[in-house]
Amino acid sequence: MVRSMTGYGRAQKVLNGRDILVEIRSVNHRYYEYSSRIPRTFNYIDEKLKALLKTSVSRGKVEVSVSISNIEGRDTEIAINRGAAEGYVMALRSVSDELGLVDDLALSKLIKLPDIFNIQKTPDDEEQVWNDVSQVAKEALDRFVEMRAVEGERLKADVLEKADGILTMVGKVEEISPETVKRYRERLYKKLTEILESKDIDQQRVLTEAAVFAEKIAVDEETVRLRSHIGQLREMLQSGEPVGRKLDFIVQEMNREVNTIGSKAQDLNITRLVVDMKAEIEKIREQIQNIE
């Protein structure tokens, strides 16, 4: 399946007290380039995320954004500072005895005193965090890949349509080329007749000149290779593998053959076809730049 290098995927879930959001987006790039935006405290998952994406992406500039929010209270641990509490109780009762005050000390009053509670952030279970993030990331990755596949099929259809158009033009070139030689032979015969003012023309000389001319403008080899390149392009698009780089090479070869046909062209109609073929090849080049 042909896949585009442009895509987007998003997934969000609440797992084990964490609200996790993962977004994956990509644009064209010659190679696989990964970047991420992850909260600093969770940087330990970055390499694992990179490896996860590499299983499904071979080309493209990919950016992953991860947001992890702990649900209120789930990431904290509250403990009584027993030493401080005991110290407060002993001090207050001592003052109560010395001043003859009523000892009305109660828990509700004690907890209002400073430093009675120790509030600490609960340490992350790194393995659990990764399991949760990877679950969300895989869901986002599936959507990301699906979008790239849909766009890839559209690109494939467009490229094949343009390739068919080029084949049609190649057929026209093959039809016109022999006629060019025929017209040249007729012009040569007429010119020699005018020069020699006689019908007694050396037919062998005319045929030899025409053969030399035909050899110079012959594009049979170029059209055969061009058809072969288009056949390879079709096979690659049907292969189901990442073929962007290979397609780029094939398109270069197609362009080379068309340029050669243009340099040999001695017919205005062929020249026009060459211009049209080059325009279609350039459109194909633009499309395959977005194929993985």
Query: Could you state, in chain order, the average pLDDT of each consecutive group of 10 residues for the chain (292 residues)?
Result: 92 93 94 93 94 92 93 65 81 78 76 74 81 96 95 94 96 84 62 57 58 62 93 89 88 95 84 95 93 88
> Mapping DSSP to helix (H, G, I), strand (E, B) and coil, where does residue 187 land?
helix
Between the alpha carbon of residue 179 and those of residues 73, 78, 182, 183, the distances in Å are 86, 94, 5, 6
Its pTM stands at 0.68
Contact by Cβ (8 Å): 251, 285: yes
Contact by Cβ (8 Å): 23, 64: yes
For residue 182, give every residue at least 6 positions away whose Cβ sits within 8 Å of its Cβ, in sequence order, or none. none
pLDDT at residue 283, rounded to an integer: 95
Q: Strands 76-80 and 32-37: what pairing?
A: unpaired
Between the alpha carbon of residue 217 and those of residues 56, 172, 180, 255, the distances in Å are 49, 15, 9, 18
pLDDT at residue 1, rounded to an integer: 77
pLDDT at residue 115, rounded to an integer: 79
* All structural domains of the chain: 7-71+125-149 (3.30.230.40), 76-121 (no CATH), 150-288 (1.20.140)
What are φ and ψ of residue 28, in 5° steps? -60, 140
